[in-house]
Structure 1
Amino acid sequence: MKQFFHVMISHDFTNHQSQITNYQSQITNHFHINKFTIKINKF
């Protein structure tokens, strides 16, 4: 039972980490898109 609980916790943690990574990459993409848009507007 303890083992099972531990596995569940690590699984949740891994999911959480990947969600954070996805969120960070979305922010990064958004930032790049904004910079790109700003460059286009300057032309």
Structure 2
Amino acid sequence: MEQMVKKQGATEELKAQDQMKWVRLMINIKSSAEEIVVKNTIYM
């Protein structure tokens, strides 16, 4: 998940500048990570 955060640019600087954008990015990253885990669990 840390790699996804870096790739998407969800930095502490962004959090300070635009909290809503940071929250949207983090929610997207969390959803993507959960989807990956579910797919790997079901299909492996």
TM, length-normalised to structure 1: 0.60
Larger radius of gyration: 1
Relative contact order (alpha carbons < 8 A, sep ≥ 6): 1 or 2 greater?
2
User: Mind listing any 5+ residue stretches in structure 1 that lack a counterpart?
Assistant: 32-43
- Residue 18 (structure 1) aligned with residue 13 (structure 2): no
Q: What is the percent sequence identity of the aligned residues?
A: 13
> What amino acid maps onto 1:17 in structure 2?
K
User: Mind listing any 5+ residue stretches in structure 2 that lack a counterpart?
Assistant: 1-14
| Structure (1 or 2) with the greater helix fraction | 1
Runs of 4+ in 1 over 6 A off after TM superposition: none
Paired residues in the alignment total 30
* CA RMSD in angstroms, aligned pairs only: 2.2
